[in-house]
Amino acid sequence: MDLPETQDPQPATALSIDARTWYVDVQFMGAAEYIATGVLDLPGGGLALVDPGPATALEGIEKGLGARGYALEDVRAVLLTHIHLDHAGATGTIAAPRPALDVYVHARGAPHVADPSRLLESARRLYGDQMDALWGEVRPVPEEQVHAIEDGDAVALGKGEEARRLRVAYTPGHATHHVSYLDEASGTAFAGDTAGQRTTGVDYVLPVTPPPDVDLPAWQDSLDTLRQMDPERLFCTHFGPHDDPEAHLDQMETRLRAWAEDVRDGFEEGADDEALATAFDEEKIRQIERHVPEVRRTPYVHFGRPRESWHGLARYWRTREEA
Ligand SMILES: [Zn+2]
């Protein structure tokens, strides 16, 4: 995957949310502003990571942690919003050599973190021979380090009464095992891909709807769940914090619905899937070009992949018709 040279060659790697909450730009494939790993300073020392990204970006994580004087040895916990490889691929590589490190993941995702073979099989169908270059090594997380979580759980990180509490909400739609975390200390809702893709400071939210899990009614409920959390800010893994949760979620809801309708209406044209996906992709890229400044477009166009989103939405409608 070649990237256009429109980006700052030395973007910041460690960025602040507040004094004890920050994030690392892992610089996936050398690209800035695509994968953001949330970092929480824990009382009593150590760090928690939210969505560490793939193993191919481990160097980026280490560089970002290093910018603040930390290393992977300081990581006490990894919290996953879901197990797609762009979010969770490095988890086993980080966790396996560190038996005291805890990994949190929704109960439906937990078995696949401990044994990624089925996950890798389905990813290979999607990514083919690009698989290894994109994601690198995917190691299993030792079972005793995996904590299966569910809607309504609270995760306490760090020692004593000062422990940092994160409330867990089940937020399916993008993936059937997706959760979001409300960090009570910072008021940040780590929303994974449920709130779509949007780069900090850019006013454009991109739905990310790849196959096979897309579920529109569930997604709608999840957007309401994020609203009910009443966070001070939303944090998208792609990419970064947003201080206008209500406007963001409204934009996501409206655009998700519009994209889904576009895909459904396209079926009536009777063209083949390839032609429909291409037309959809081109139209959405023109939309991105209208709303996103050129220097910040790479993550939307190269990784947001509206073409994949067409396939995810098409599958959703067809599966529903069959049922
Ligand atoms: Zn993602």
- Banded model confidence at residue 5, pLDDT cuts 50, 70, 90: low
CA of 193 to the centre of ligand 1 (A): 6
How many other C-beta atoms lie within 10 A of the C-beta of residue 274?
9
Q: What is the pLDDT of residues 193-250, one digit of tens each?
A: 999 999 999 999 999 999 999 999 999 999 999 999 999 999 999 999 999 999 999 9
- What string of DSSP letters covers 124-188? HHHHGGGHHHHH---PPPPGGGEEEE-TT-EEEESSSTTPEEEEEEE--SSSTT-EEEEETTTTE
Distance CA 292, CA 78 (A): 32
69: left (phi over 0), alpha (psi -120 to 50) or beta: left
Q: What is the pLDDT of residues 65-110, one digit of tens each?
A: 999 999 999 999 999 999 999 999 999 999 999 999 999 999 999 9
Answer yes or no: is 317 within a domain: no
| Residues 91, 141 contacting (CB under 8 angstroms) | yes
Average pLDDT, the chain: 94
Element holding 108 (H helix, E strand): none
Pairwise pLDDT comparison (276 vs 5), residue with the higher score: 276
CA of 206 to the centre of ligand 1 (A): 12
CA of 268 to the centre of ligand 1 (A): 30
Whether pLDDT at 2 is above 80: no
Ion ligand 1 — residues with CB < 5 Å: 86, 193
Q: What is the pLDDT of residues 110-144, one digit of tens each?
A: 999 999 999 999 889 888 999 999 999 999 999 99
Q: What is the pLDDT of residues 22-31, one digit of tens each?
A: 999 999 999 9
Domain with 216, as residue range(s), is 14-253
Whether pLDDT at 4 is above 60: no
Answer yes or no: is 47 within a domain: yes
Answer yes or no: is 40 within a domain: yes
**CATH number for the domain including 22?**
3.60.15.10
Predicted pLDDT of residue 270: 84
Answer yes or no: is 307 within a domain: no
Number of domains in the chain: 1
Answer yes or no: is 314 within a domain: no
Instruction: Average the pLDDT over 25-51 and give the result.
Output: 96
Predicted pLDDT of residue 7: 55
Distance CA 267, CA 318 (A): 10
Predicted pLDDT of residue 94: 98
Answer yes or no: is 271 within a domain: no
Answer yes or no: is 267 within a domain: no
Answer yes or no: is 23 within a domain: yes
CA of 161 to the centre of ligand 1 (A): 34
CA of 237 to the centre of ligand 1 (A): 7
| Residues 270, 279 contacting (CB under 8 angstroms) | no
Instruction: Average the pLDDT over 5-29 and give the result.
Output: 83
Distance CA 238, CA 247 (A): 17
Terminal C-alpha separation, the chain? 37
In the sheet where 102-106 sits, what is the strand order? 14-18, 21-25, 36-41, 47-50, 75-79, 102-106, 146-149
CA of 84 to the centre of ligand 1 (A): 7
CA of 70 to the centre of ligand 1 (A): 25
